[in-house]
């Protein structure tokens, strides 16, 4: 595994994203909806840097049926908050093809929020298959499979405090 983004670089970037959100949302109460499980660490750091009145809920999506290939997307919204008439900020770990965020936005849009914006820690360059883009992006990274800081490979490595790119020799089953 090789380190792609250090702990310090992540914190610097989140400070910038938080400043940007604070400036653009101008003290409006936010309904933050985090897309689990990958965004868990980003959410924890970002929300503590956002000095705004906020409620926090989560949805869970899963598209990876294991490994690095994509399966069918399912959304579990049992732990979401009411969003009708609210300014919603979606938080996700990484914008890859973009299908996950697009589907979650479609689902939330039907519940008639006042606005929907989205913040992602990472955007994988050249991988997008949708036209929308997140409003706030921490880093653009090359097309590599990354783990750490909430991101997993087969549910492992989420606890690494930095972001690392997986190498061929890491693609083994730890279960």
Q: Which residues are catalytic?
A: 96
Q: Which of residues 37-56 bind Mg ion (CB under 5 A)?
A: 38
Q: How far is Cα 6 from Cα 122, in angstroms, rounded to an integer?
A: 13
Count the alpha carbons within 13 Å of 168 in the hemisphere toward its beta carbon. Answer: 0
Burial zone of 154 (CB within 10 Å; 0-12 exposed, 13-18 middle, 19+ buried): middle
Q: Which does 87 bind (CB under 5 to 8 A by kind): Mg ion, ligand IMP, none?
A: none
**Nearer of residues 145 and 162 to ligand IMP, judged by Cβ:** 145
Q: Which does 98 bind (CB under 5 to 8 A by kind): ligand IMP, Mg ion, none?
A: ligand IMP
The least CB distance from residue 25 to ligand IMP, in Å, is 23
**Nearer of residues 13 and 52 to ligand IMP, judged by Cβ:** 13
Strands 163-165 and 146-147 come out as antiparallel
Q: Which does 151 bind (CB under 5 to 8 A by kind): ligand IMP, Mg ion, none?
A: ligand IMP
DSSP E strands in the chain: the ranges are 2-5, 30-36, 54-64, 70-76, 87-95, 115-124, 136-141, 146-147, 163-165
Residues near 28 by beta carbon (within 8 Å), at least 6 away in sequence: 52, 87
The least CB distance from residue 102 to ligand IMP, in Å, is 8
**Nearer of residues 38 and 138 to Mg ion, judged by Cβ:** 38
Q: How far is Cα 161 from Cα 15, in angstroms, rounded to an integer?
A: 16
The least CB distance from residue 38 to Mg ion, in Å, is 4
Closest C-alpha to 36, from 9, 3, 7, 74: 74
98 is a site residue for Mg ion (CB under 5 A): no
List of residues contacting ligand IMP (CB under 6 A): 35, 38, 63, 92-100, 145-147, 151-152
**Nearer of residues 38 and 138 to ligand IMP, judged by Cβ:** 38
Task: Give the interface with Mg ion as residue ranges (CB under 5 A).
Answer: 38
């Amino acid at each position: 595994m090789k380190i792609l983004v250090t702990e310090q670089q992540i914190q610097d970037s989140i400070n910038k994203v938080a400043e940007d959100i604070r400036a653009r949302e101008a003290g409006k109460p936010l309904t933050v909806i985090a897309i689990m499980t990958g965004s868990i660490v980003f959410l924890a750091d970002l929300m503590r840097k956002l000095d705004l009145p906020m409620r926090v809920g989560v949805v869970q999506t899963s598209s990876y049926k294991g490994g690095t290939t994509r399966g069918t997307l399912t959304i579990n919204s049992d732990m979401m908050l009411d969003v009708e008439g609210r300014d919603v900020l979606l938080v996700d770990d990484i914008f890859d093809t973009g299908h996950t965020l697009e589907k979650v936005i479609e689902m939330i849009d039907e519940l008639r929020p006042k606005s929907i914006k989205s913040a992602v820690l990472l955007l994988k360059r050249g991988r997008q298959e949708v036209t929308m883009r997140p409003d706030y992006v921490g880093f653009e990274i090359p097309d590599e499979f990354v783990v750490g800081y909430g991101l997993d490979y087969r549910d492992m490595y989420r606890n690494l405090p930095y972001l690392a790119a997986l190498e061929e020799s890491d693609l083994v089953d730890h279960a």
